[in-house]
Structure 1
Amino acid sequence: MSSGILFEVDNHIARVTLDRPKALNSIDPEMDAALFEAWAEINSNPDIWVAVLGATGEKAFCAGANVSGGTEGDGRRMALGGGLTGVGGPMLTLRKPLIAAVQGYAIGGGFELAMCADIIVAADTAQFGIPETKVGIIGEAGIMHRAIRQLPHHIAMALILTGDRIDAQQAERYGLVNEIVPYEKLTETASSWAERIASASPLAVQAAKDAVLSRAGWPLDVALATRYEPIEAYAYSADRIEGRAAFAEKRAAQWSGR
């Protein structure tokens, strides 16, 4: 991996950590490239079942981007956050579940990166904000489109139009975060969520994520009538056979992710 992030895999869980605390973990081209490599590895490695995105330092999860439009060094064009956000370049779809562990400032592109996660665990120090209008910078509007879909309409509009921030307690009240914990327990709690997800069938989890997100903006009748390839493929997997056997034998399943 390039510098700018830490990456490790243990017991089917990948941990991606933004590692520029002196810059409030703001995303530069080198970090973007490193994140792209991390997401690509998570997607392609069948032994990775879930990922946790965190950051070093207590002050900030991520203060956004200090560049726009992805990387410059190798000529590869990607969206902010290693392709995850869809801002400034082609969007990368992460097929595995992603948990964001957020502390301190999550603003601008950092807020958007957190919203790309499936589960958000927040430290009680977390603050979420969209500062573009306050500082007079409007470029890519991805964060606004995500906010209006993940927050109540008037709450999102207030954030967008004023540039003000909401704290962790407000974020939980509005359904943005799943759990609030003291900063000292943030890593432990995010890991607990990851372990709970990893205890389920990884292929079933991935198929469920694909089905839900691929039809999230469609009418219900279309979503119900859609055939989902990952779900159909799961019917022929070793994990499906193991799941049935474990249920019949009243034991814990031993998933292989195959």
Structure 2
Amino acid sequence: MSSVELIRSSHVLEVRLNRPAALNSIDDDMDRLLAAAWATVDDDPDIWVAVLTAAGDRAFCAGGDMKRPPTGHVGLSFGGGLTGIGGRLQPLSKPLIAAVHGHVLGLGFELAMCADIIIASQDAVFRLPEARAGVIDHCGVVHRAVRQLPHHVAMGMILASEPLTATDAWRLGLVNQCVPREELDEAAQSWIARLLACSPLVARAAKQAAQLGLEIPLSEALGRSYPAIEAFRTSDDKSEAEQAWKLRQQPIWRGR
């Protein structure tokens, strides 16, 4: 049985961490499989949405495997390239949902923060255990934490390994939705449906603009052009949107 399972359903690919006995901690093999999964998502034009989930009851992901830690596959950063830690950052161009439960620790917390939409079950607990464990190496997770959370909340997690409950994560805007554990799959499906109702090319173009724009001052971000937006201007989806508007009907997206 693979430690990372890929489950395809129409335009959606679920990427499932599958080492529940090890709390889905990420070893080098899982990291390689994650790199392959993200390449599949980006390379297949018929995949419009990716969903990151995890098997087992206790944890979404307990971080990197201390016995066989990830080393970066073909020079990519940990998490199959998503995190920017320990290698080359390879951001995912398509929308990514993370549906998390139980322990969300270290590298697992980092992976969740790499998603565009986070859904958390009420039993989820986010934590950076490094300070308490006396371990520090690459520290990409702290840079995301201080950008995605209020400063003092993030610093409490970073310096004292303070936990963050799912309810507080939702209150602080880190997660999009907090639901009872038994409703996690249903909530993920609801977000998938909302994303599939939108043009996949517009979603990719907007994500690209958002990601690139964050790297530069606002004035520059507003003034530059973005390749995916330029490409959309001559796409079938743009024509479909214009025709659907004229006919007052729902567009049928092709992702082309």
Q: TM-score range by the shorter chain?
A: over 0.9
Please show how residues 85-124 of structure 1 align to structure 2 within 5 Å: 85-124=83-122
Out of 193, 201, 204, which is 2:202 matched to?
A: 204
Larger mean Cα displacement after TM superposition, 15-24 or 81-90: 81-90
Match of 1:214 in 2: 212
SS of the equivalent of 2:75 reads coil
1:52–1:191 contact (8 Å) kept in structure 2: no
Show structure 2 runs of 5+ residues with no match. none
Match of 1:16 in 2: 15
TM-score by length of 1: 0.96
| 2:138 maps to 1:137 | no
| 2:71 maps to 1:70 | yes
Deviation at 1:58, TM superposition (A): 1.6
Residue 89 of structure 1 aligns to which amino acid in structure 2?
G
Q: Deviations over 1:20-52 (max 9, x none)?
A: 000000001111111111100000100000111
Q: Deviations over 1:138-174 (max 9, x none)?
A: 1001000000000001110010000121110111111
2:26–2:69 contact (8 Å) kept in structure 1: no
Deviation at 1:134, TM superposition (A): 0.7
2:64–2:70 contact (8 Å) kept in structure 1: no
Q: Deviations over 1:39-90 (max 9, x none)?
A: 000001000001110001121000000144525xxx7332111111111111
Deviation at 1:131, TM superposition (A): 0.8
Give percent identity, aligned residues only: 48
Residue 21 of structure 2 aligns to which amino acid in structure 1?
K
SS of the equivalent of 2:50 reads strand
Out of 245, 248, 252, which is 1:250 matched to?
A: 248
SS of the equivalent of 1:76 reads helix
Residue 16 of structure 1 aligns to which amino acid in structure 2?
V
CA distance in 2, matches of 1:158, 1:195: 36
2:31–2:79 contact (8 Å) kept in structure 1: yes
Residue 44 of structure 1 aligns to which amino acid in structure 2?
D
| 2:31 maps to 1:32 | yes
Match of 2:192 in 1: 194
Residue 50 of structure 1 aligns to which amino acid in structure 2?
V
CA distance in 1, matches of 2:6, 2:153: 35
Q: Deviations over 1:156-199 (max 9, x none)?
A: 00100001211101111111001011111111211210121111
Residue 27 of structure 2 aligns to which amino acid in structure 1?
D
CA distance in 2, matches of 1:217, 1:183: 36
CA distance in 1, matches of 2:183, 2:29: 29
Out of 148, 159, 163, which is 1:161 matched to?
A: 159
Match of 2:226 in 1: 228
CA distance in 1, matches of 2:118, 2:129: 20
Match of 1:84 in 2: 82
CA distance in 1, matches of 2:69, 2:27: 9
1:69–1:78 contact (8 Å) kept in structure 2: no
Match of 1:126 in 2: 124
Runs of 4+ off more than 2 Å: 67-71, 75-78
2:29–2:70 contact (8 Å) kept in structure 1: no
Residue 15 of structure 1 aligns to which amino acid in structure 2?
E
Deviation at 1:254, TM superposition (A): 0.8
Match of 2:44 in 1: 45
The count of aligned residue pairs is 254
Show structure 1 runs of 5+ residues with no match. none
Match of 2:148 in 1: 150
CA-based RMSD of the aligned residues comes to: 1.2
CA distance in 1, matches of 2:88, 2:70: 10
SS of the equivalent of 1:218 reads coil
Residue 5 of structure 1 aligns to which amino acid in structure 2?
V
SS of the equivalent of 2:74 reads coil
CA distance in 2, matches of 1:33, 1:170: 33
Match of 1:4 in 2: 3
Residue 70 of structure 1 aligns to which amino acid in structure 2?
T
